[in-house]
């Protein structure tokens, strides 16, 4: 089943918007890598190969257990992970250092020619799309080449569902190309079925994010960093966004009134914001040290800027309290389970659309502190730093949720094995 008339309209819109699309991805590049990858010009890959697509760094981090499991389960296969962003590419590169069978390419833009060219050169035996990455022409090209397609950890927020409903005829035809969809919650499954996903090809498997298993090395480096920071109140704000950093610096300023030695580890979500956030700290007369400088924060340091990639877990592990960004501003939040898995109490703002099911699970276990605004955040930080038993309780409750909810990885691997056994 092709995309039909909805697909023709979609392709026409792509060509009309191509200058804007190309401008947006132009900056998402790594030195030494050709932008021709965006049009499917990649070297011919060695077979046999499994292809996994993750949008950006957050999805790569969430998919790490799956990446490791695929490499273990299919030792005769190579694994190519594609991303849209340079930050995601960097994270794949870090993982590839642990396995010569893991490679990275940038995902081609969803033009028919680019999709066909990419698949001809990659020649994967299976295609796995992570979360909400549904590209009509790529999926159609997979179907034309009889490449089994799975969408795993599939999620669709209420807001995203309303947007996709406007193009339901296109989404129905796109989802018809999916052989198996592994939804992370019943609500996500219902939304995908509302867009036309065939019921008999979709299953609820739970969230893969619970299967995050930080390495002993990440724990060790986190403890080592904490020793270097000394005995002082330390909180980390991870994956922050524009408009949020100002609020977090305000909360830190208020916290310093009660705890003068308090240190904020501030970790912007996107590397292009590292320098502007450092300048923001200086403008607000905060004593800031950059992690990339190699300097150890001194007693007078008020902000430690996490301007490096791939270190968020160990930065969480070095803190007493974690605030997860993208939640004081209407972004939809980020992975609440990363600090939970590292044994750190979790605070978030009110905007958690992208992680509503995980937030509900943590909330039910009384393992999540939600604040409506920066005033409440500052007050909550002061209260928690004054209450070590409550911090310990929150830490154990959050870790308990992660341990109890594990298991999606096994269900996903079982489904992929059944789907792909005839080729792999």
Residues acting as catalytic residues:
59
Structure tokens given for 71 = 């490499």
Range 87-99 burial, b when 16+ CB lie within 10 A, else e: bbbbbbbebbeee
Question: Which residues, in sequence order, are CB contacts of 239 under 8 Å at separation 6+?
Answer: 58, 267, 268, 269, 312, 324, 325, 326, 334, 335
Side by side, which strands form the sheet with 288-290? Answer: 288-290, 303-305, 263-268, 234-240, 321-324, 346-348, 369-370
Task: Give burial (CB, 10 Å; 0-12/13-18/19+) of 20.
Answer: exposed
For tokens 């033009």, the residue is 111
Angle between helix 4-26 and helix 136-144 axes, rounded to 10 deg: 120
Q: Exposed, middle or buried by CB within 10 Å (0-12, 13-18, 19+), for 212?
A: buried
Cβ(286)–Cβ(272) below 8 Å? no
3-state helix, strand, coil in the chain (%, to 5): 50, 15, 35
Scanning the structure block, which residue is given the tokens 């209407």? 330
Phi-psi region of 182 (alpha: psi -120 to 50; beta: other; left: phi over 0): beta
What would the two tokens of residue 394 be? Answer: 């929150």
Distances (CA, A) of 8 to 137, 161, 170, 197: 10, 22, 10, 20
Strand ranges in 286-376 using DSSP code E only, listed in sequence order? 288-290, 303-305, 321-324, 346-348, 369-370
E strand map for 302-378: 303-305, 321-324, 346-348, 369-370
Cα gap 405→387, rounded to integer Å:
28
CA distance 224 to 230: 10
Radius of gyration of the chain (CA): 22
């Amino acid at each position: 089943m092709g995309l039909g008339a909805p697909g023709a309209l979609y392709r026409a819109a792509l060509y009309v918007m191509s200058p804007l699309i190309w401008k947006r991805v132009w900056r998402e590049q790594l030195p030494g890598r050709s932008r021709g990858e965006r049009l499917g010009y990649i070297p011919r890959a060695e077979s046999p190969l499994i292809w996994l697509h993750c949008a950006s760094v957050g999805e790569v981090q969430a998919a790490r257990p799956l990446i490791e499991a695929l490499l273990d389960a299919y030792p005769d296969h190579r694994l190519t992970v594609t991303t849209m962003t340079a930050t995601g590419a960097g994270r794949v590169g870090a993982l590839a250092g642990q396995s010569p069978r893991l490679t990275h390419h940038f995902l081609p833009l969803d033009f028919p020619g680019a999709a066909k060219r990419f698949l001809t050169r990659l020649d994967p035996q299976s295609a796995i799309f992570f979360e909400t990455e549904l590209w009509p022409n790529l999926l159609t090209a997979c179907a034309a080449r009889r490449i089994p397609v799975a969408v795993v950890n599939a999620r669709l927020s209420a807001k995203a569902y309303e947007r996709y409903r406007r193009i339901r005829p296109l989404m129905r035809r796109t989802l018809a190309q999916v052989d198996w969809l592994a939804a992370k919650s019943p609500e996500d499954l219902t939304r995908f079925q509302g867009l036309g996903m065939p019921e008999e090809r979709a299953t609820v498997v739970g969230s893969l994010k619970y299967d995050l298993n930080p390495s002993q090395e990440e724990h060790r480096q986190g403890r080592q960093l904490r020793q270097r920071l000394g005995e002082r109140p330390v909180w980390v704000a991870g994956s922050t966004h524009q408009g949020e950093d100002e609020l977090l610096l305000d909360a830190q300023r208020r916290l310093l009134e009660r705890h003068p030695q308090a240190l904020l580890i501030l970790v912007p979500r996107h590397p292009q914001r590292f320098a502007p956030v450092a300048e923001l700290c200086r403008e607000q007369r905060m004593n800031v040290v950059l992690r990339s400088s190699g300097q150890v924060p001194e007693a007078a340091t008020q902000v430690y800027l996490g301007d490096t990639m791939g270190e968020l877990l160990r930065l969480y592990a070095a803190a007493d309290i974690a605030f997860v960004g993208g939640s004081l501003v209407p972004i939809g939040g980020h992975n609440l389970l990363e600090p939970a898995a590292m044994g750190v109490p979790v605070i978030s703002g009110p905007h958690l659309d992208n992680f509503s099911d995980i937030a509900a699970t943590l909330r039910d276990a009384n393992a999540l502190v939600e604040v409506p605004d920066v005033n409440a955040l500052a007050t909550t930080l002061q209260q928690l730093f004054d209450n070590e038993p409550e911090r310990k309780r929150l830490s154990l409750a959050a870790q308990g949720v992660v341990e109890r909810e594990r298991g999606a990885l096994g269900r996903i691997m079982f489904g992929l094995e059944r789907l792909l056994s005839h080729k792999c």
